[in-house]
Amino acid sequence: MSLEKQVVGEVVLEVHNLSASYNRKPVLWDIDFQLTAGQLVGIVGPNGSGKTTLLRNIMGLMEADSGYVRLFGKGLNEVRDRVSYVPQRESVDWDFPVSVREVVEMGRYRPKNLLRRLKTSDQDLVDQALEKVGMLEYAARQIGQLSGGQQQRVFLARALAQDADLYLMDEPFVGVDAATEDAILKVLTELKEDGKTVVIVHHDLQTAFQYFDSMVLLNTRLVAVGPKNSVFTKENLQEAYGGRLTVLSKLSQVIASSEFPVREKGFKEKTGKGDPQDG
């Protein structure tokens, strides 16, 4: 269990005046927002808008040009046990000789106990995580032998085994089958019901509106943040996507009906993959 109890309504993530760049090209500019506990939050925006860069800065995987991030009011290193990060599946070397169980066991190790053997209680949590995502029977299999959807389930199981309070996930629904998408969504909903906070980079506007409570809408700058109904307006989407929305003229009707049959250019249905560039 987490060392500290999370309280619904608590500020779990604060991003303050954050700017970041690659090769001196701005990717994020003066991003400023807060998220509170007990939500499913979607980070959306066009390709190249800085979605993945935002997660990388939150996790300290790249250095910001300015600004700062606070998690539960503290720096990442003070609360790392309470934060779980699931990167894009394409960023992982799936040929590495490690089993499904060994991947999920990584969620039980901490920097201060990397050399200790896992306890029976740790192994029980690993089993529970694998069972929850339907991968317990594959525990001994090498990860490279899995399908894309199964690999994503293993990633999710590792995050569950960590038993964090804040989960940051980069495109967990890309390239998975419908059954895996449903399984992931079920687990994420259970996490929310347990008072956890889940923040997900996501491409698909239609399912984003269905899946998430709140949105962070980016296009290098922060366009809007808050409850999905207040973020997904014609004006905000036009500012974020501009001409990249193929049915922009129909957005008023789309928003009114709460249906978003609009997919970002380069994103394919279900088993397809989006643009590999930064989200």
Report residue 58 as tokens.
């939150």
Q: Which residue has the higher pLDDT, 267 or 23?
A: 23
Q: Are 183 and 153 in contact (CB under 8 A)?
A: yes
CA distances from 158 to 61, 139, 154, 245, 261 (A): 19, 12, 6, 36, 32
What does the mean pLDDT of the chain come to? 84
Q: What pLDDT, on the 0 to 100 scale, is given for residue 234?
A: 85
Structure tokens at 102: 């060994």
Q: What's the predicted TM-score (pTM) here? A: 0.83
Residues 6+ apart with CB under 8 A from 45: 51, 217, 218, 219, 223, 240, 241, 279
- d(C-alpha 268, C-alpha 262), whole Å: 11
Contact 41, 199 (CB under 8 A): yes
CA 1 to centroid of chain Cα atoms: 21
pLDDT digit string (tens) for 67-122? Answer: 999 999 999 999 998 999 998 877 777 778 899 999 999 888 865 555 567 888 88
DSSP 147: -
The CA–CA distances, whole Å, from 224 to 29, 206, 229, 236, 272 equal: 14, 17, 11, 7, 28
User: Could you give the percent of the chain with pLDDT greater than 90?
Assistant: 59
Give residue for tokens 């701005």: 26
Bridge partner residues of 244 (DSSP):
none
Reading the block at residue 243, the tokens are 């001409």
| Nearest Cα to Cα of residue 202 among 6, 52, 21 | 52
What pLDDT does 58 receive? 97
* Rounded Cα distance, 81 and 6, in Å: 13
Closest residue by Cα to residue 209 from 248, 170, 263, 157: 263
The pLDDT tens digits for 178-228 are: 888 999 999 999 999 999 999 999 988 888 888 999 999 999 999 999 999
What is the CATH architecture of 11-93+164-257?
3-Layer(aba) Sandwich (3.40)
279 contacts 170 by C-beta, under 8 angstroms: yes
8 Å CB contact between 222 and 239: no
Interatomic CA distance for residues 133 and 187, integer angstroms = 8
Alpha-helical (H) ranges within the chain are 51-58, 100-105, 120-132, 148-162, 178-193, 205-211, 228-231, 234-241, 251-257
